[in-house]
Structure 1
Amino acid sequence: MQRASFFIVLLFTGTLLAAEPSSPKMTVVFVIDQLSAEYLEKLRPLLKGGIATMWQNGVEYTNAFYDASPPSTAHGHALLTTGTYGALHGIVGNSWRTKDLGLVECDDDSAEQAAVFAPKGALCSYGKSAKNMLVDNLSDQLKLHSYPHARNTVWSLSLKSRAAILMGGKMGSPVWFNNEERQYTSSKAYFKKMPQWITEVNEKLALDRQEKITWKPLYPLCGPMYAFDNASDYLFARVKKPLINSTHDLSTKKAFNRIYGKSPQATADFFTLAKACINANYKEEQNERFILWLNLASLDKVAHSFGPYSKEALDTLYHMDHQMGLFIKEIYKKVPKEDVLFVLTGDHGGQPIPEIINQKGYTAARRYYAPTILENLNKLVEEKYGIKKLVRFFSSSQFFLDMTRLTDLKKNLTKAIMGTMKEHLVSLPGIRKAWTFDELQKTIFEKYDLDSRIKKELYPGRSGHLFYSTDPYTALYGNKKGGVHSTQYAYDTRVPLIFYQAGRFKPRRIHTTRYITQVSPTLAALLNVPRPSAAVARVLPELLP
């Protein structure tokens, strides 16, 4: 009897092992820059391409959040791929200030260690790498656990260097677009020389010789695809004239930078790069796995200029959806459907333009022009304490001070100065609270208090000195017009999250709150590698019960 039971258990165990799915041969993660979850809710009936394929066939999380703030491209990609917060990974924003107030871009490195490739075999005078990211990410774990019987190839592509690099980590293979040279590139931190396939893509695109570009809408502008409130309202846009449905000059550096990254052509060119990456690097051998991170950056560039309601933003997403659909079909020609895992998410959301929200009836919506507030803080401190130009720089949710002006003061006086500035900030309608760095770091928040998300991005020597939080739809802007993403609220932090692998996951919508910190541990489990070392969250239980 015991022997029979043993064989039954053995047979049952063997059946379970045989039934467990193998890890996908190809994994493609689409990260659409500034893709708020509200876009999918608004445009779901109108999307017909790759995004539609994913939500129709995949596991869709309708309440997936970045639970850290302020949201940015850099912090979003670092959190997504490390599974932890700026307080640990150190990427507190796209850039920050040092103790002497020098500017540091999140992906800066020395030319000696990480020189960026320039055309014709030359090198740029600056470097780019993931040196400033202080923990490993999923790409690093994939490369650290690449073996002869299970090789992992990892590429990360973007128009933005910071997105490509923070997805690729220290050991992946990032590629990004260099606006100065009008070409895709990488750095010596990742390659001894520019990979030949990238050079061939640059030659094919020939952007250095292109003199004009035309933004053709994907659908008729008079049709229902663009028939949304305020889609043609350019009163609060940074760009004075519509970009859509017109031809633009590319002859100067300024003209090229103004339009190319926003244009549908940039998205089409990007997928040309992605297809070339697969053709050059994907291997069909059984023991090879290919992981491709794709950051689609154009929506972010458009929404900053026009806001999320504009025709330009709508059309950008339609073009992305269309190009993604074509790209997925191309992949299925190369790899069986059941061997490909697709993931779709965003790196952050975006705040609707407050003037438009105000016009719609939510009169508490406000735009504060940050340089004016900075100037007023300095005037206040000078008049009351005789200290000039104490506040030097503004960044989302924080101000950077020239602390050398306070070094010789007694602690009580320094505390009084900081208190005066905090009082001024919270006296402004829509600004809820203000803290010094030390106060914020020591504050214990209730679970429901979204201000706790600001604390999660604090890193000494990189974060600012004076912080604030706002009410919903109120923000400090570096520009008098256009859009931004800078708060802890849902419109800035809730993003789509969809997993799709044919034959593995049944289509379903999950409304339970989940967090983007769960994505890299989940992908690590699906790909059979250890999670990133500093990851803080559990796997998504609906995918891995």
Structure 2
Amino acid sequence: MSVLRRAIVTCLVLPFILPTSLLGASPQKPKLIIAIIIDQFRYDYLTRFRADYHGGLDQLLNNGADFTNAFYRQVPTVTAVGHSIFMSGAMPAVSGIVGNAWYDRDERKTVTSVCDWSVQTLGGAQDEKGKNCTDADPASPRRLLVSTVGDELRNADPRSKVIGISLKARAAILPSGHRANAAYWFDDVSGNFVSSTFYFNQLPPWAQSFNQQNLPAQYLDRKWEGFPKWDFHTPPQTKDRYSKLPASPWGNELIERFAEEAITGEQLGQGPGETDLLTVSFSSNDYVGHRVGPDAPEVRDMAIRTDRLLGKLFHVIDDKVGLRNTIVVLSADHGVASAPDRARADKMPGGYLDGHVESAVESVLNNKFGEA
């Protein structure tokens, strides 16, 4: 867990799950299931900021079932592992997703949880140099060894549509599973939502139209109200021009707007009798949280903004599908530890790794086993 200069602190993380139909009893067979993950959203954010919620989180807390003791004891508590468990129920030793990245003995290199050079990226840039298996490389659920809720849903009824959306490839791909009709994630070079040929040969027209609007460009010069030190501007000639947007309030706005387009473009929940599944992972809470820690005012602001975005998304679902016909499930993939300085101020243990020690250990390991 990397929190502010690779902090070492002690914490207990309790993810939460909130399923609901929001408005009365749902029908026997829902038209739409929307599974929402807020990346790095500790359970106490629900109670600490409760008075600030007037949107989607407020609806869920007022009308849903709050499972306060529902969690998995997975290790490590990182994005890929949490997202794979959420919709599969399988622990890392079974699912094959043992981290965001790991050393693959067969490939003799470090690989990410979803990188796959047997497919191609659609809608964005693809760097063929080295094929190093990084977060920017083509992706698929190939490394996931188990089925997900979406897979079983489509096994039962192939008419069902399953779609995953996030800024992160792993957060879009792993919850939606192998049989998903599509997974979309953000490319910080092109500013587009991209996918891969694992799903289809070209992006659907509605996704292409969304990308053509070039919405990310309008956020580059915006200021985060109340937090003037945050700067999201990147010169036009910069290769990864949009790389600062994930760690901003605007990253989640892009996710929500793309999710709206997916519901409309794919007519999710509007079929003759099947149940569709949409997984949406809000990533910006995690990017911001890693920079400032869970006790910073930016984290509260992000939680409030996420509440509003969920309210906006629920309004669209109610208009297109009807919330009475929808099951909403909300969870986090993991929590986060307090920054070491804050932990020590609260008389809790905490400290920092010495960078020289880490370098020395890595050097010894590389000499003995080869570079990862």
TM-score normalised over the length of structure 2: 0.83
What runs of 5+ residues in structure 1 fail to find an aligned partner?
1-18, 222-231, 233-240, 379-388, 393-400, 406-463, 465-545
1:175 aligns with 2:184: yes
- The answer to whether the 8 Å contact 1:118/1:124 transfers is no
Q: What SS does the aligned partner of 1:162 have?
A: helix
Q: Does 1:136 find its partner at 2:120?
A: no
Given that 2:232 and 2:245 are in contact with CA atoms closer than 8 Å, whether structure 1 keeps it comes out as no
**2:160 maps to what in 1?**
152
Q: Residues 190, 354 of structure 1: CA spacing in aligned structure 2 closer, same or farther, 3 A cutoff?
A: same
CA distance in 1, matches of 2:49, 2:235: 32
Equivalent positions of 1:459-474 (< 5 A) are none
Specify which of 34, 37, 40 is matched with residue 43 of structure 2: 37
Cα distance change, pair 22–41 in 1 and its aligned pair in 2 (3 A): same
Contact between 1:140 and 1:169, CA under 8 Å: does it hold in 2? yes
Match of residue 391 from structure 1: 365
- Counterparts in 2 of 1:129 and 1:258: CA distance versus 1, 3 Å: closer
Question: What is the CA–CA distance in structure 2 between the aligned matches of 1:315 and 1:20, rounded to whole Å?
Answer: 32
Give 2:257's aligned residue.
Answer: 272
Shift of 1:319: 1.1
Shift of 1:248: 3.3
Corresponding residue number in structure 1 for 2:292: 306
Q: Equivalents in 1 of 2:116, 2:91: separation in Å? A: 22
Report the alpha carbon displacement of residue 376 of structure 1 after superposing the two structures with TM. 4.8
Instruction: Give the partner amino acid of 2:261.
Output: A
Tell me: CA distance 1:366–1:248, structure 2 relative to 1, closer, same or farther (3 Å): same
Give the structure 1 partner of residue 110 of structure 2: 103
Residue 117 of structure 1 contacts residue 124 of structure 1 at CA under 8 Å; is this kept in 2?
Answer: no
1:214 equivalent in structure 2: 222
The CA distance in 2 between the partners of 1:249 and 1:124, in whole Å, is 21
Pick aligned residue for 1:61 from 67, 82, 101: 67
Counterpart of 1:275 in structure 2: which amino acid?
E
Query: In the alignment, is the contact (CA less than 8 A) between 1:355 and 1:367 conserved in 2?
Result: no
Residues 107 and 130 in structure 1, CA contact (< 8 A), matched pair in contact too: yes
Compute the displacement of 1:49 (Å). Answer: 1.0
CA contact (8 A) 2:160 2:276 kept: yes
Distance change >3 Å, CA 377–CA 94, structure 1 → 2 = closer
Distance 1:90 1:152 in 2: 26
Q: CA deviation at 1:86?
A: 0.9
| Identity of matched residues, % | 26
CA shift, 1:253, in A, is 3.5
The alignment status of 1:373 with 2:357, answered yes or no, reads yes
Indicate whether 1:197 and 2:181 are aligned: no
1:252: how far off?
Answer: 4.8
The aligned residue for residue 185 of structure 1 is 194
| Pairing 1:52–2:58 present | yes
| Structure 1 residues 143 and 45, CA gap change in structure 2 (3 angstroms) | same
C-alpha change, 1:258 and 1:185, in structure 2 (3 Å) is: closer
Q: Which has the higher strand share?
A: 1
CA RMSD of aligned residues (A): 2.6
Unaligned runs of 5+ in 2: 1-24, 129-136
The one-letter code sitting in structure 1 at the alignment partner of 2:344 is N
SS for the counterpart of 1:104 is strand
Distance 1:211 1:269, change over 3 A: closer
Which residue of structure 1 lines up, in the alignment, with residue 121 of structure 2? 116
Superposed, 1:320-469 pairs within 5 Å as 320-362=306-348, 364-369=349-354, 371-377=355-361, 389-392=363-366, 402-403=368-369
CA shift for structure 1 position 361: 2.4
Deviation per residue, 1:355-376 (Å, 9 max, x gap): 11101222x222224x433345
Amino acid at match of 1:315: D
Residue 289 of structure 1 is matched in structure 2 by 275
Tell me if structure 1 keeps the 8 A contact 2:251–2:283: no
SS in 2 for 1:248: coil
Give the Cα separation in 2 of the matches to 1:109 and 1:255. Answer: 21
The SS at the match of 1:291 is strand
Greater radius of gyration (CA):
1
In structure 2, the CA distance between the partners of 1:78 and 1:212, relative to structure 1 (3 Å rule), is closer
Cα distance between partner residues in 1 of 2:336 and 2:167? 19
Q: Structure 2 vs 1, CA of residues 176 and 247 (structure 1 numbering), >3 Å: closer, same or farther?
A: closer
| Cα distance in 2 between the residues matched to 1:305 and 1:252 | 26
Contact 1:211–1:249 (Cα < 8 Å) also in 2: no
Take 1:279 and 1:273, find their aligned partners in 2: how far apart are those partners?
A: 10
Distance 1:250 1:32 in 2: 30
Q: CA separation in 2, counterparts of 1:34 and 1:211?
A: 23
Equivalents in 2 of 1:45, 1:402: separation in Å? 55
TM-score (norm 1): 0.58
User: How many Å apart are 1:44 and its aligned residue?
Assistant: 1.1
- The offset of 1:184, in angstroms, is 0.4
1:28 and 2:34 are equivalent in the alignment:
yes
Q: What's the offset of the Cα at 1:286?
A: 3.3
The CA deviation at 1:278 is: 0.5
Distance of aligned partners of 1:192 and 1:377 in 2 relative to their CA distance in 1, 3 Å threshold: closer
- Corresponding residue to 1:75 among 43, 67, 81: 81
**Structure 1 residues 306-331: Cα deviation after superposition (integer angstroms, max 9, x where no partner):** 11122222211211111111111121
* Aligned-partner SS, 2:316: helix
CA distance in 2, matches of 1:74, 1:333: 32
How far is the alpha carbon of 1:183 from its aligned partner?
A: 0.4
C-alpha contact (below 8 Å) 1:157/1:294 kept by paired residues? yes
Contact 2:232–2:244 under 8 Å retained in 1: no
